[in-house]
Chains A and B, each alone.
Chain A
């Protein structure tokens, strides 16, 4: 066999790399919070045991994510206690779950809420309840501290994620033109949070093409601009711009006023909100309760979970809507509900790695990385000296079809993702392997609803969002909006609770 000079050099350098790795300490960790086994039982219509006990309760909330917890919050706040919330996982919170180790609390998914505008009435009300908003003033400790975001590109750091380094005149012109276009959409009032308040037929055209196509039609071809647009879609929707409705792409930028304060955030991300909600409604929350069947009954609905049958007047269905056909006989299969697969990981760092001279920021992103970068859990700490920390690493598997991403998640082991994550981080933090002691990985096949082309104005979506009290089942998941953000989940949860309260209020 002839060994070429190139291949010799390659294997020689690989050998050297191997030698240097041997010196590092072992990195521990595993997959955590896996729940696809339970989901697959439903999908495969596995037989479930007959109930041993039954309980009469006025309202059953299915799903303990932000939508379900918000419905519970609203019921509880109105003095209504005759409800239970059933959560499949061991921990409530859904995409606002959190973890904690001896260093810090850290998020498992959503990690911030932008300062809500005037229209987000329920969010503002919640934040007043939680002391985030006091007498019209936001608690300054919950604003994300400076420096907030940094992007690594062309061998250096910049503040903020919108590329500002290495732009040619053409790039600058296109960023400016896009900003002008988005400002018009912002001013039009058609792009609001909650989305339902502003959504208007006059923008329906935008839902018929992808965001990538819209950008192309507007003549945008700047590489950095398109990277940024794709980053935004991956970050909020888990999809590339080509798989995202143009309406949703524009909504990302046009739904919020330009503001300087930065988002509201906590060490455990939106887990902080989950914790505060659980402090209020925790007594009604039952975790580890997988609902496997919902059938009409004399009273209203029977909800089967584990060995329990709950006889309820109303069900607030706050779990992902795509599960409904698997739980309810005769419920039509849903076509307009596409979900993005995701992976998050929490890395325990025994010391801060070499960051090429930059001070740590809250959110770190690398240009052209397939991942979304990481968020530093100790960033909101008031300490001046931080030696150990936790990074939450985000990776939307946006390339290819969602089913491909799900298959990849199921067919790979923890080591595969450990290496992939470290490999990505090593591009900037060369000594990362010497700093990390643990990597826990959470895989989510249906992490968030994807605002695919046509999904925002979908007739099917409108039908199940109608919340007709006669059906006794009220949908509440954020997937009703077509985008998965805290505000939408909370809006639908509270709205569903409102319908229930109106109905039951009449009878009590």
Chain B
């Protein structure tokens, strides 16, 4: 009996520590500042344990009965503490309140356990042996739990199931106690039934833990991730929140379906509408098919060539129903030819000419992407312009990356092109910039396609006006051998984020 008794001390101690660790870990996961969270959680928990020990003197009768009930309560509260906290964080404002309420209640209950146990067994051993044995196994249990928690439990089970597993341990100890100290119990049967009931509840919780976690996480991360894939070239993530679809490439937001029309209408229409008989259009980048959707609003356009590096990107935007609804199935239009190739070498290897070229690449965050913003690149692109042709270039934000924006303008100028910079406000991006460029002057269009939500003939002139905080800055052109733009861009965004 001695060994079994002390093993239950060990298990009880382990449970107590696990609940404390779960609370501390969750608080630091969700609230941040782990030093503060762990300190306050542990402090409160220890204080509550002291409180429990102090209160234990008021329990005088039916000690085993009381002990079993405490174990059951701990099993339920501790076992569900993690799930309750996650749901509270996701759905309520009261996470902090619940956290400390739980910490205090669990602390008090854990604080009651050891004094009660010592009193239950004091008749069987000498006092000094009780103290020595109980405390030894108490601390051993704590050691075991503190090692198990980070090494095995969190990685294998997760926080929700770890807490529930130890809830089950508490209940097991309760059930076991009804046999171990059966001689001190009058109505053991009722207690055992209660134990089994709680055991079933916790077991069911264990089995459905995934649902609880998912329900909580769905609400913690504002948007559902509906697609996530590492391709050979990039990490593609699509998220959805209600009617808002968002595309992230390498964690950079590419569009939000709520306002992308502003971006893509501005990208395409000021330029394409100004070329009366545009028949052939080239899109470099833009594998989402959204620019192509705008281009297909011109019936005179006979062919659209889309060159995007990543076949996975053009594939999902040709097949996923949510995405084809967004781009009006543009990539499967018979007018559209999708080519998966690296844009710069493709321009060199191809001899076709185009009336309008859309250059829509990710921002110049690296030297490899920076090559697509150089004098050499724009010269290569300009060789593909027809006599009346123009191109438009996605040019990052003239507000947040003002130097970079004007560096791109200077680069297009250096490549021998006439430049017409303009900007548009896209709520999910902020103020965004484009440059129209051509071998001849730009004449704003007299009409735009019907049914546009943002671009209008009356509104166009304003887009070409730059207020003082985005106004022209003298910048050197970006060349292959200097790549000043990459460093400029890095500095621009550093200034914003610090």
Contact = CB atoms under 8 A, between A and B. Distances in A.
Given A140-B376, A384-B343, A385-B233, A260 B366 contact: no
A386 interface: yes
A89 to B, nearest CB: 32
Given A145-B483, A146-B483, A147-B483, A384 B342 contact: yes
A145 B374 CA distance: 11
Contacts of B479: 140, 143
Nearest to B341: A383
Given A140-B376, A359-B366, A384-B344, A261 B233 contact: no
Contacts of B366: 359
Given A384-B309, A387-B232, A140 B483 contact: no
B376 A385 contact: no
B161 interface: no
Measured as residues with beta carbon below 8 angstroms from the partner, the interface class of chain A is 10 to 19
B473 interface: no
Of B343, B376, B481, B483, most buried by chain A (CB within 10 Å of CB) is: B481
Contact of A140 (B309, B348, B480, B486): B480
A68 B384 CA distance: 41
Interface in B339-378: 342-345, 348, 366-372, 374-377
A143 to B, nearest CB: 4
A365 interface: no
A262 B481 contact: yes
Nearest to A146: B483
Contacts of A140: 374-376, 479-481
A262 B479 CA distance: 12
B184 interface: no
B233 A359 contact: no
Contacts of B372: 384
A146 B368 contact: no
Contact of A385 (B342, B370, B374, B480): B342
Nearest to A262: B481
Contacts of B375: 140
A330 B376 CA distance: 57
B482 interface: yes
B383 to A, nearest CB: 13
The interface residues of chain A, by DSSP majority, are classed as: loop
B371 A359 contact: no
B344 A144 contact: no
Interface in A155-213: none
Contacts of B342: 382-385
A246 to B, nearest CB: 32
A264 to B, nearest CB: 10
A103 B233 CA distance: 18
Interface in B294-332: 309
A416 to B, nearest CB: 36
A260 B482 contact: yes
Contacts of A359: 366-368
A157 to B, nearest CB: 13
Contact of B480 (A141, A260, A386, A387): A141
Interface string A122-149: 0000000000000000001101111110
A24 to B, nearest CB: 22
Given A384-B369, A384-B371, A385-B368, A146 B344 contact: no
Given A146-B482, A385-B309, 5 more contacts: A140-B376, A140-B481, A141-B480, A146-B483, A382-B344
22 contacts: A140-B374, A140-B375, A140-B479, A140-B480, A143-B481, A146-B370, A146-B480, A146-B481, A260-B482, A261-B481, A262-B481, A359-B366, A359-B367, A382-B342, A382-B348, A382-B377, A384-B309, A384-B342, A384-B344, A384-B368, A385-B233, A385-B368
Interface of B: 232-233, 309, 342-345, 348, 366-372, 374-377, 479-483, 486
Give the 8 A-B residue pairs with the shortest CB-CB distance, closest first: A146-B483, A143-B481, A382-B344, A383-B342, A384-B368, A145-B480, A262-B481, A140-B376
